[in-house]
Chain A
Amino acid sequence: GAGVSQSPSNKVTEKGKDVELRCDPISGHTALYWYRQSLGQGLEFLIYFQGNSAPDKSGLPSDRFSAERTGGSVSTLTIQRTQQEDSAVYLCASSLGASSPLHFGNGTRLTVT
């Protein structure tokens, strides 16, 4: 079946612009995660959605970052007024439940110039 799909795969933007990153999880997966991956570092947790519960936004690094998940499926991560330090690979993952293995998309590589 189809895996987790992320778009765009690459995004180059100018400092100060807003960007939207999209994630289509595996059908039937109730849990959805956003992570940020920088070179030489472990995955950094950003946000977690589980069904209709309130999301855990504790990992969002600043109020420039926001995410939503519509209809329990597609999720969008928005970064406003991008900064150079936002450059990284943004990974989305979904799972059947909270403690189940994660299925990752191939990420969006964001470059802020």
Chain B
Amino acid sequence: EDQVTQSPEALRLQEGESSSLNCSYTVSGLRGLFWYRQDPGKGPEFLFTLYSAGEEKEKERLKATLTKKESFLHITAPKPEDSATYLCAVQPPDSNYQLIWGAGTKLIIKP
């Protein structure tokens, strides 16, 4: 069964302390990997799409990378407003629209 696993479940960092979130998947030949950010009481907000191993995308303090079996979301010098749950989703090769979602990593940045 295709699975998406995110780690850690929760991460507490001091403001300015860089780190990475992991999204590993068992899907072979994925069509795309998506990162979303979700604030409490809100719906997920799209961040990045990655399509092939070696690809990287950046937005402000966030950088997403992709290998054949996992993706990393690197957070550089985070600020308290980066606190949120970060969700990863994988689109398998046999579907145009289905996504397999990870359970998310809750990131807390302390000032």
Contacts and interface: CB of A to CB of B under 8 A. Distances in A.
Given A31-B97, A48-B97, A101-B34, A42 B43 contact: no
Interface residues of B, number: 24
Contact of A98 (B42, B44, B46, B96): B96
Nearest to A33: B97
A40 interface: yes
A45 B99 contact: yes
A2 B89 CA distance: 25
Interface residues of A, number: 22
Tell me what chain A mostly uses at the interface: helix, strand, loop, or mixed: loop
B44 A102 contact: yes
Interface of B: 4, 31-32, 34, 36, 41-46, 49, 87, 89, 91, 96-104
